[in-house]
Structure 1
Amino acid sequence: MKKSLLVLVIAIALTSATADKSVFTGKIDYSFSFSDLQGNDITNRMASIVGREQHYFVTDGNYKSYDEGQNITQLYNGRTNTYYGFWKDKTAHQIDALTRTSQQYLITKLDKKEKILGYDCIAIQVDTDESTSVYYYSPLLKIDPDTFLKHNFGDWNRYLEATSGALSLKYIITNHKKEYVWTVLATKITKMPLKTVDFEFPEGYELRN
């Protein structure tokens, strides 16, 4: 009996260890390109507003992003369920991540596949109040969706539920209201340990709401 219990405990421990290893912690680098609804390249114009790159760090219910100039652009703190957006003038705005940004969120599985950075990706389409987005993701690159259950803002929890926590390696957002197409493509994936303290509000920024 004791031997059986020992085997069971070891099995549970090994299963937990394997599950932890399957959850991604680290950085994904993305490049941006833009076009208008007629297909004309407007990347230079849009890059002056949102930049040309995103360096995205994620772990344990937290994430943050930097642009190509190492300016922080967004931060989500899971402990407080708070989202922060940052501007280049060293100011920031704060949003309660319980805030819902779209009433409509329709998911359609697509018969599309693409290989990105060695990952075989499948696709879904998401239709919201203002946009239609196609997301390419691999089930092998995922985070724990349960750590973002309260993240209504940007429909992040809805997306993670639809993909079982898988992160997108490419997405194409067609914003019908603002009339542009935004293509985001992963260029590098780096697994690395990250600490909770890395996702606190940064020094040197003034909070304005």
Structure 2
Amino acid sequence: MKKTLITLCLSLCCVMAFAQSFEGTIVYKNSYKSKMPTVTDQQFTDMMGTTQTWSISGAAYRAELNGQLVQWQVYVPADNKLYTKMANSADALWNDAAENKDEVLSSELHKDVIEILGYKCDELVLNCKSGVQKYYFSKKLGIDARLFSNHKFGNWYAMLSEAGAVPLKTIVDSPQFTIESIATEIKPAKLDKALFVLPAGTTTSKNPY
């Protein structure tokens, strides 16, 4: 059960951006609905937190969470690895972003479905082996999907190749849980490259799950 929860948490985070890609920070509010009899909504909330601060510059991104289990994630494009720091591990655990245990079976695109923070958003629905994933995005907050062509993990490139923009709302529905994440603040800015470097002294190891 512990291995299952950690794997789900890693996927969530990941699941967890014009010709020029958006650079800056987006703050999301997260909520969870458990479908597992042994894990409550509150336990998912405690593990993952209610707030995710996500920053992107070029092909690098970083997420910081206020939960008790997952602390931060950094995607380092030079390594094509996603590093995750969890409270119960001294090492930052890495996943090879070229690997993806999930698979997109089909997709649907719906225009002008919702408005979020003043942005009219389309809806991209990915029907996956793991369940249904919905992404709401505006092309005004575009990302060059080609920068992430080797980032298969978490269906990231599959989503970007169709949306071409950072999601402002995400709903991931699986047999284990439903998570809804919606942007509460968008802060375009030129970011310090040091934000996307692993903290000094960080030790790493391959994620065993």
Within 1, Cα distance between the matches of 2:108 and 2:54?
26
| Contact 1:101/1:155 (8 A) holds in 2 | no
| Structure whose CA Rg is larger | 1
Count of aligned pairs between the two proteins: 184
Residue 62 of structure 2 aligns with which residue? 64
Within 1, Cα distance between the matches of 2:116 and 2:122?
10
Give 1:190 shift.
0.3
- SS state at 1:208 partner: strand
| Contact 2:45/2:67 (8 A) holds in 1 | no
Give 1:69 shift.
6.9
| Contact 2:34/2:44 (8 A) holds in 1 | no
TM-score by length of 2: 0.80
Give 1:50 shift.
1.1
What residue identity is the alignment partner of 1:44?
Answer: Q
* Structure 1: 5+ residue stretches without partners: 1-17
Within 2, Cα distance between the matches of 1:134 and 1:200?
30
> Matches of residues 13-162 of structure 1 in structure 2 within 5 Å?
19-20=19-20, 23-36=21-34, 42-68=40-66, 72-89=71-88, 90-110=90-110, 113-162=113-162
Within 1, Cα distance between the matches of 2:193 and 2:148?
15
Moved more, 103-112 or 91-100: 103-112
Within 2, Cα distance between the matches of 1:111 and 1:146?
23
Identity between Structure 1 and Structure 2 (%):
26
Aligned in 2, Cα 1:193/1:72: closer, same or farther, shift over 3 Å? farther
Residue 168 of structure 1 aligns with which residue? 167
What residue identity is the alignment partner of 2:190?
Answer: P
What residue identity is the alignment partner of 2:30?
Answer: F
RMSD: 2.3
Give 1:72 shift.
4.1
